[in-house]
């Protein structure tokens, strides 16, 4: 049986973040191809971790800067190693290459962190992003990790284009794999306008774009909405709310910080309108994907809607200022006549852009091609080989120095 080793930055939490749901999607793809999966992570286990043991996946705890990993991977001898974000490739990539050189090395980028950080910095400075913003430590590290791997999963069409045009990465090193869903509901199964209530904002509070969006709502957007809709409520959900977030809770203003949602889809289904005023970020937005699936129109920004709807109109409205976002939220919230039209738009996008089967078939073909032509694929990747030789040597020696130091302590 073929073996997959996933080296996770964190233990996946599908009910807490879009990244967790995406990882679960990847795991299901490999399970469908009859892989025996081992999921390893140096992270502390969280209370919301998905118990993937029920799927037959083996849980393995590993350590950073420890040679015990070398013995583990030598014994396991996986056919494929999947690094969950570039930091894990930096930490363990050289060990995988040294002790399991024939294993296919894949990188799960999630969103491009360098793009997110560049946009965040530009927002702070009240300017637009320029290419120099990517010449940062995190940008150089992220692109280098892509080069060193055999293939990277890219979640957004926008980022597929960016990586090829701005960073000159070859198309054969990238595989477009967005969120996917096996099937979509029919519109008759969605809650009607009269059965849905309140606004919702949802997202993991540890994700900086989400926290910024909550503050943006509190300070700029919600007061404008509440002025017109005096009985409206905004229910804010998200895992790991810090004290600074819970302190924003204000029932008199209808601004209710609810915290973690045990069933994120249920609270999204019950809401009338989803608010996602994201001022920076990257990738695809899980909250907006789920809003379409739940039949809940959404109000977001161009960054929020980026690469999500193809050539379809947005199932709600997309605006770029607090005043326009607030007015759009009011208009959609009161628009019973066109509510089903917004819902149908969301279903059309899901059916056109995100059905699992076409992506799974392409995924299966691509993995097979890489496995059969790995030597040739790597021979064509001189840049990656060069980065592996030089960069990983320094990482190897640093890791060995840290391990020796820890033993002395």
Collapse the DSSP code of 317 into the 3-class scheme (helix H, G, I; strand E, B; otherwise coil) and give the result: strand
Percent with pLDDT over 70 in the chain: 96
Domain boundary assignment for the chain:
3-181+356-408, 187-353
| Residue 390 confidence class, pLDDT cut points 50, 70, 90 | confident
Average pLDDT over residues 266-281: 98
Residues 119 and 49: their CA atoms lie apart, in Å, by 30
User: Strand 104-108 to strand 80-84: parallel, antiparallel, or no bridges (unpaired)?
Assistant: parallel
| Residue 254 confidence class, pLDDT cut points 50, 70, 90 | very high
| Residue 392 confidence class, pLDDT cut points 50, 70, 90 | low
pLDDT tens per residue across span 132-176: 898 899 999 999 999 999 999 999 999 999 999 999 999 999 999
Q: List the strands of the sheet with 273-276, edge to edge.
A: 255-259, 234-237, 199-202, 273-276, 298-300, 316-318
Residues 333 and 399: their CA atoms lie apart, in Å, by 55
187-353: which CATH topology?
Rossmann fold (3.40.50)
When the pLDDT of each residue in the chain is averaged and rounded to a whole number, the result is: 94
Residues 378 and 29: their CA atoms lie apart, in Å, by 24
Average pLDDT over residues 204-209: 95
**Which residue, chain included where needed, has tokens 């008759």?**
188
For the cut 70, the answer to whether the pLDDT of residue 391 exceeds it is: no
For the cut 70, the answer to whether the pLDDT of residue 394 exceeds it is: no
- Fold identical between 3-181+356-408 and 187-353? yes
CATH number of 3-181+356-408: 3.40.50.2000
């Amino acid at each position: 049986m073929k073996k997959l080793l996933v080296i996770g930055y964190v233990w996946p939490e599908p009910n807490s973040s879009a990244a967790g749901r995406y990882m679960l999607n990847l795991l299901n793809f490999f399970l469908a191809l009859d892989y025996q999966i081992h999921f390893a992570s140096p992270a502390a286990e969280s209370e919301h971790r998905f118990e993937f043991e029920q799927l037959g996946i083996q849980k393995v705890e590993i350590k950073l800067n420890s040679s015990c990993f070398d013995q583990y991977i030598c014994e396991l001898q996986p056919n494929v190693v999947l690094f969950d974000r570039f930091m894990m490739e930096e930490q363990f990539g050289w060990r995988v290459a040294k002790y399991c050189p024939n294993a296919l090395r894949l990188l799960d980028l999630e969103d491009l962190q360098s793009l997110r950080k560049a946009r965040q910095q530009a927002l702070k400075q009240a300017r637009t992003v320029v290419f120099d913003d990517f010449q940062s430590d995190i940008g150089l590290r992220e692109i280098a990790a892509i080069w060193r791997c055999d293939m990277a999963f890219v979640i957004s069409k926008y980022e597929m284009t960016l990586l090829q045009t701005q960073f000159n990465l070859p198309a054969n090193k990238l595989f477009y794999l967005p969120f996917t869903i096996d099937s979509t509901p029919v519109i008759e199964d969605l809650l009607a306008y009269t059965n849905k209530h309140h606004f919702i904002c949802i997202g993991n509070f540890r994700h900086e774009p989400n926290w910024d969006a909550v503050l943006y709502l509190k300070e700029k957007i919600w007061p404008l909405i509440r002025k017109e809709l005096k009985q409206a409520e905004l229910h804010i959900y998200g895992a790991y709310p810090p004290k600074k977030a819970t302190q924003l809770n204000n029932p008199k203003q209808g601004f209710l910080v609810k915290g973690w949602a045990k069933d994120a889809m249920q609270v999204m289904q019950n809401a009338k309108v989803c608010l996602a005023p994201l001022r920076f970020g990257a990738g695809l937005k899980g909250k907006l994907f789920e809003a379409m699936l739940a039949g809940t129109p959404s109000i977001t920004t161009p960054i929020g809607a980026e690469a999500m709807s193809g050539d379809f109109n947005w199932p709600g409205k997309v605006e770029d200022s607090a005043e326009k976002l607030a007015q759009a939220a009011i208009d959609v919230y009161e628009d019973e006549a066109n509510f089903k039209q917004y819902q149908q738009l969301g279903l059309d996008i899901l059916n056109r852009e995100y059905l699992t089967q076409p992506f799974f078939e392409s995924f299966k073909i691509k993995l097979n091609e890489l496995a059969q032509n790995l030597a040739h694929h790597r021979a064509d990747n001189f840049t990656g080989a060069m980065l592996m030789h030089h960069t990983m040597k320094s990482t190897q020696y640093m890791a060995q120095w840290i391990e020796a130091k820890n033993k002395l302590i």
